[in-house]
Amino acid sequence: MQGYPLKAGEPRAIPLNNTLLPEYLRKLGYATHLVGKWHVGYYSDYHTPAYRGFDTFLGYYNGYVTYFNHTIEQNDQVGNDLHYDVPKNLSAKYSHEYMTDLISERAEDIIWNHDRRKPLYLQLSHLAPHASDSKDVMEVRDMKELNATLGYIEDFNRRKFAGVVTALDESVGRVVQALKERHMLENSIIVFMSDNGAQTEGLLENYGSNYPLRGLKFTLFEGGIRGAACAYSPLIKNTSTISDQMFHITDWLPTFYTAAGGNLEDLEENLDGFDQWSTIVSAKKTVRESILLNIDEVENLSGALWGKYKLINGAKQLYGDYYGDSGTNESYPKYNVSSVLHSPAGSAIANISNLTLSANDITQLREETRVTCKHPTFYPKCLNTCLFDVYSDPCETIDLSLKHPDVCTYLRMTSYIAGYKKVLMSQTNMIVDPNSYPEHFNGTWMPWLKLPEELVHVLSG
């Protein structure tokens, strides 16, 4: 999956010999459901969610769709991309319901109809607040409601972004409330996380803000790659805390597998992820010391984190500056702590918890997560090499590569980035296959290649 993000109708996917998290969990007896985005390939039936470990899938195969019509355009071909799939039965679904609400309702339906004697893995991959494939890239649910509730935000694009995020916030509350009402919340692990930074402007802009961090979604600067996540579980011992320990998205597979009672020896060899369940539950020091951020052999770009240091080689000027709203405009209403405490999610958790959060607790937690730094007039462009201490300089203003050549050389030349380059899979971007066009499938983007079963067995290893 290296390279430019997967396009609609592109015959590319995660190889079948890679076992995905839901496949592992299903072997442990879990019911598994995916709602929302897939975007890891669908050129054959065998590459779709219902054949890769999910009992059901309601959502879209491609990277994004319109919020109401659920369509995507590629090569001047517009097609529906909403599906309801179960193993051996892939079907198009047609709806004009707002995507965020559609995902919420499906999640509630799964929770209410779940057999509680069986463990549940429910993955919600929201469209919000990604840019829509509509001309209006931020499609809000109700414009009248938006202006009535968020009219104080003068920038209309930012106001619409806030409306899209508000609907997402409501979705989280609905899901947590449903878990409480089914008496499942007290035995649940909930993780809410972002996958990358906002794209304030440019390609697929959504008017979000990574302020005060540097860079946008398509860069290796902190604004592009530093994610935020929140984990809830009654098993967490040190609650209401902020962690800045190193964590990579590949860590979720072994972490969730351990939390589900699995034996790590059952997993594939040479996984990139580390089991971080004890880090989450008991605040134990992470075993992860480094992260490969990317190696793009086409753009001659690479980057890595090692402890507090980050190395970037060959950054591009596009999207590498400072962007976005600080969120501290004096015209904005004061942060309403009470609305957090009494929100559906807050009320549901408080109802089953022995711990209570005060307004002061929330205010203090918010302050602990605040990143503060000044944006300089001049800063390194990193067209060749930059080394940053991202703990003391999170906004990446001071290049340390000349002061610490030993660290720079180690990250760049030793077994880390160089080691990964030796095993790097070349980019496999392919042209969009005209046989995939929706006109061949009654107006819907569907799998279009028929793979013989004997070939599937070979590809599955």
Q: What is the pLDDT of residues 358-377, one digit of tens each?
A: 999 999 999 999 999 988 88
Q: What is the mean pLDDT of residues 272-291?
A: 96
Query: Hey, what are 93's tokens?
Result: 């679904």
Query: Hey, what are 374's tokens?
Result: 């000044």
Q: Are residues 282 and 395 in the same domain?
A: no
Instruction: Determine the Cα–Cα distance for residues 215 and 325; give it in Å rounded to an integer.
Output: 13
Contact 128, 102 (CB under 8 A): no
pLDDT tens-digit readout, 231-269: 999 999 989 999 999 999 999 999 999 999 999 999 998
Q: Are residues 64 and 84 in the same domain?
A: yes
Q: Are residues 205 and 303 in the same domain?
A: no
Q: Is residue 331 part of a domain?
A: no
Q: Is residue 13 part of a domain?
A: no
- Domains in the chain: how many in total? 2
Instruction: Determine the Cα–Cα distance for residues 397 and 376; give it in Å rounded to an integer.
Output: 7
**Is residue 357 over pLDDT 90?**
no
Query: Hey, what are 376's tokens?
Result: 């300089």
pLDDT score at 75: 97
Q: Are residues 98 and 228 in the same domain?
A: yes
Q: Are residues 441 and 309 in the same domain?
A: no
Buried b (16+ CB within 10 A) or exposed e, 244-259: eebbbeebbbbbbbbb
pLDDT tens-digit readout, 59-85: 999 999 999 999 999 999 999 999 999
Q: Are residues 216 and 313 in the same domain?
A: no
Q: Are residues 395 and 363 in the same domain?
A: no
Contacts with 305 (C-beta within 8 Å, 6 or more apart), sequence order: 246, 290, 291, 293, 390
Q: Which domain holds residue 420?
A: 289-322+376-430
pLDDT score at 413: 63
The CATH number of the domain holding residue 92 is: 3.40.720.10
pLDDT tens-digit readout, 70-123: 999 999 999 999 999 999 999 999 999 999 999 999 999 999 999 999 999 999
Q: Is residue 2 part of a domain?
A: no
pLDDT score at 62: 98
Q: Are residues 357 and 383 in the same domain?
A: no
Q: Are residues 166 and 226 in the same domain?
A: yes
Q: Is residue 12 part of a domain?
A: no
Task: Report residue 278's pLDDT band, with 50, 70 and 90 as the boundaries.
Answer: very high
pLDDT tens-digit readout, 149-207: 999 999 999 999 999 999 999 999 999 999 999 999 999 999 999 999 999 999 999 99
Q: Higher model confidence: residue 330 or residue 192?
A: 192
The pTM assigned to this predicted structure is: 0.96
The CATH number of the domain holding residue 422 is: 3.30.1120.10
Tokens 């969120």, residue located: 327
Q: Are residues 268 and 381 in the same domain?
A: no
Q: Is residue 399 part of a domain?
A: yes
Contacts with 295 (C-beta within 8 Å, 6 or more apart), sequence order: 301, 302, 417, 420, 421, 424
